[in-house]
């Protein structure tokens, strides 16, 4: 259980960090202020303000993360009239820090009860100083001033010129696409690493590697590594799939294999051993796929495996949409945790394969054009490009709200279904 928990946290952490770093990097490149880069959700544990203007936070729940971009829909910030704050004014007579938190105290802070603010365009804050309601005092706010939020996290304010909507359409579209793109890159790298750990890439042909074991049927019969099994009881086998399909039904039955070794062809008679698998007895002779150990093949496997898995997942998604939909087709954090337990049994290869699979899943799901997902945001970018102007803020906010509501409801249903599947029944 401990191994599963640690693996789950590491795998989930890698997925989130890589995904969010894509948004983070391209937002920075596009001149968008990233106010916060958070790993985890919920209450903050620690935070660090970088010289780049971004606050980096680690939060309690290791089941997600986010990039908080200035002016984006998840960057709601408003100092309401009546809010008590304290101000730190610099030598240039401009406010450098605005403290709204009772958890953090600013030395020499000026107490102010807010009556109005503009932290986007004209950059000012005004209110009653020291409880004196006879006069409203206004202060200019520095462009790079910070605000300490109620939980004690210090973030840079978000002037209009560094907000998400102020970036060009192309840069906004790239920022939205970068998260799923990074997950595709992660899958490619994970599959490459998996091939290195395995010592090569399965060749998929009828060439075999013989297991070195006293109980190996193939070894006892005289089959050697790099032999090619051309036929099983006269039935031609040109691929590993052909070979395994022909041998598995022949448990404990006398079977003739046609073997090619170099330029020599010979026949070997053996009886595949019977082994239980998923409640059935299948024939096994103690061979594995021959491996291509060339570095080029290993590197290429990252791309080919990612492409094959992407096609498989897209096919599954299409069958869900066009056929009978079931919640069992989906899985949330509970299902991922349960599957992590299975992956860890296969060691590093199993974990890397699982990481690649999840990363492709995350990329594909995020590109579905549902509001609140990256795909929904990209769709809005495309609509803006066609219309040559963005949708109104109210329309976009309404669409996003519907998308968020749908996703929250779906996540609740999926999570409960996963709990029933894996822990109740």
Same domain, 306 and 280: no
Burial bucket for residue 268 (CB in 10 Å: 0-12, 13-18, 19+): middle
Does residue 339 sit within a domain?
Answer: yes
Residue 11, token pair as written in the block: 């795998």
pLDDT of residue 166: 92
Asked whether residue 52 is domain-assigned, the answer is: no
The boundaries of the domain holding residue 218 are: 204-289
Q: 383 in a domain, yes or no?
A: yes
Domain's final residue, options 261, 289, 317: 289
- Same domain assignment for residues 248 and 365: no
Q: Are residues 307 and 259 in the same domain?
A: no
Both 413 and 307 in one domain: the answer is yes
Is 420 part of a structural domain of the chain? yes
Give dist(CA 90, CA 88) in Å, integer: 7
Residue 272: phi and psi, rounded to 5, are: -60, 135
409 CB-near residues (< 8 Å, 6+ apart): none
Last residue of a domain, one of 162, 196, 227: 162
- 101 contacts: CB under 8 Å, gap ≥ 6: 148, 149, 150, 151, 152
Query: Is residue 324 located within the same domain as residue 362?
Result: yes
Residues 12-15: contacts with CB under 8 Å, at least 24 apart: 12/62, 12/63, 12/333, 12/336, 13/39, 13/62, 14/186, 14/355, 15/183, 15/186, 15/355, 15/358, 15/359, 15/362
Q: Distance of CA 64 to CAs 3, 42, 332, Å?
A: 20, 10, 12
Q: Which of 20, 149, 154, 396 is catalytic?
A: 20
Domain identity same for 285 and 325: no
Q: State whether 100 and 124 are in the same domain.
A: yes
Residue for token digits 């990039």?
A: 67
Note whether 337 and 250 are same-domain residues. Answer: no
Neighbouring C-beta atoms of residue 292, cutoff 10 Å: 18
Q: Which run of H or of E encompasses 136? A: strand 136-148
Q: Answer yes or no: are the C-beta atoms of 51 and 33 closer than 8 Å.
A: no
Domain boundary pick from 257, 289, 321: 289
Total tally of structural domains belonging to the chain: 3
Structural domain contains residue 404: yes
The pair of structure tokens assigned to 389 is 């102007």
> What three-state secondary structure class fits 332?
coil
Res 169: pLDDT: 94
Residue 359: which residues within 8 A CB-CB, separation 6 or more? 15, 18, 183, 184, 186, 187, 190
Q: Is 327 in the same domain as 242? A: no
pLDDT of residue 147: 93
Q: Say how far apart CA 206 and CA 281 lie, in whole Å.
A: 23
Does 64 fall in a domain?
Answer: no
Q: Are 134 and 184 in contact (CB under 8 A)?
A: no
Integer Cα distance of 309 and 361 in angstroms: 9
**Co-location of 418 and 305 in the same domain:** yes
Distance from first CA to last CA of the chain, Å, rounded?
20
Backbone angles phi, psi at 419, to 5 degrees: -60, -40
DSSP state of 179: H
Q: Is residue 267 in some structural domain?
A: yes
How far apart (Å, rounded) are the C-alpha atoms in residues 199 and 288? 13
User: Does residue 88 belong to any structural domain of this protein?
Assistant: yes
CA atoms within 13 A on the CB side of 54: 19
In this structure, what token pair is assigned to residue 165?
Answer: 């909507």
Q: State whether 369 and 393 are in the same domain.
A: yes
Rg for the chain, CA atoms, rounded? 30
Neighbour tally for 219: CB within 10 Å? 18
312 in the same domain as 262: no
Active site residue 20: yes
Q: Per-residue pLDDT for the chain (425 aa), expressed as one digit of tens each?
A: 788 888 888 888 899 999 999 999 999 999 999 999 999 888 889 999 998 899 999 998 877 789 999 988 666 667 889 999 999 998 889 999 999 988 766 667 899 999 999 999 999 999 999 888 899 999 999 999 999 988 888 999 999 999 999 999 999 999 999 999 999 999 999 999 999 998 888 776 777 777 666 568 888 888 888 888 899 998 998 888 888 889 999 889 999 999 998 889 999 999 998 887 767 888 888 888 888 888 998 999 999 989 988 888 888 777 766 666 565 555 556 666 667 777 788 788 889 988 998 899 889 988 988 877 899 899 989 989 998 887 776 776 677 677 667 666 766 665 666 566 556 65
pTM score? 0.77
Class of residue 241 by CB neighbours under 10 A (exposed 0-12, middle 13-18, buried 19+): exposed
């Amino acid at each position: 259980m401990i191994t599963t928990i640690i693996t789950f946290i590491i795998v989930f952490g890698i997925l989130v960090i890589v995904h969010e770093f894509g948004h983070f990097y391209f937002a920075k490149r596009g001149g968008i202020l990233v106010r916060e880069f958070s790993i985890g959700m919920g209450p903050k544990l620690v935070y660090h303000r970088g010289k780049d203007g971004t606050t980096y936070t680690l939060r309690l729940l290791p089941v997600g993360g986010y990039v908080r971009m200035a002016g984006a829909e998840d960057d709601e910030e408003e100092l309401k009239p009546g809010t008590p704050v304290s101000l730190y004014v610099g030598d240039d007579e401009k406010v450098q820090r605005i403290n709204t938190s009772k958890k953090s105290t600013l030395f020499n802070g000026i107490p102010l009860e807010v009556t109005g603010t503009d932290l986007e365009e004209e950059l000012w804050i005004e209110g009653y100083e020291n409880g004196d309601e006879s006069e409203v005092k206004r202060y200019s706010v520095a462009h790079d001033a910070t605000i300490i939020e109620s939980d004690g996290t210090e973030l840079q304010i978000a002037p209009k010129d560094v907000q998400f909507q102020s970036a060009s359409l192309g840069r906004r579209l790239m920022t939205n696409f970068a998260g799923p793109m990074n997950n595709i890159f992660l899958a490619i790298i994970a599959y490459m690493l998996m091939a290195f750990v395995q010592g090569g890439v399965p060749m998929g042909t009828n060439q075999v590697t013989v297991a070195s074991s006293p109980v190996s049927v193939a070894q006892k019969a005289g089959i050697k590594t790099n032999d090619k099994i051309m036929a099983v009881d006269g039935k031609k086998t040109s691929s590993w799939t052909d070979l395994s399909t022909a041998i598995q039904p022949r448990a404990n039955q006398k079977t003739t294999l046609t073997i090619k070794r170099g330029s020599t062809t010979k026949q070997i008679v053996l009886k595949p051993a019977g082994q239980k698998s998923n409640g059935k007895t299948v024939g096994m002779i103690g061979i594995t796929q021959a491996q291509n150990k060339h570095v080029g093949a290993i590197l290429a496997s990252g791309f080919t495996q990612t492409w094959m898995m992407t096609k498989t997942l897209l096919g599954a998604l299409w069958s869900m949409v066009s056929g009978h939909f079931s919640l069992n087709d989906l899985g949330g954090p509970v299902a991922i945790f349960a599957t992590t337990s299975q992956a860890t049994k296969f060691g590093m290869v199993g974990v890397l394969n699982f990481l690649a699979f999840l990363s492709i899943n995350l990329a594909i799901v995020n590109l579905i054009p549902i509001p609140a997902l990256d795909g929904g945001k990209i769709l809005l970018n495309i609509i803006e490009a066609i219309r040559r102007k963005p949708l109104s803020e109210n329309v976009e906010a309404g669409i996003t709200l519907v998308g968020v509501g749908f996703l929250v409801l779906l996540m609740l249903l999926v999570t409960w279904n996963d709990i029933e599947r894996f822990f109740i029944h």
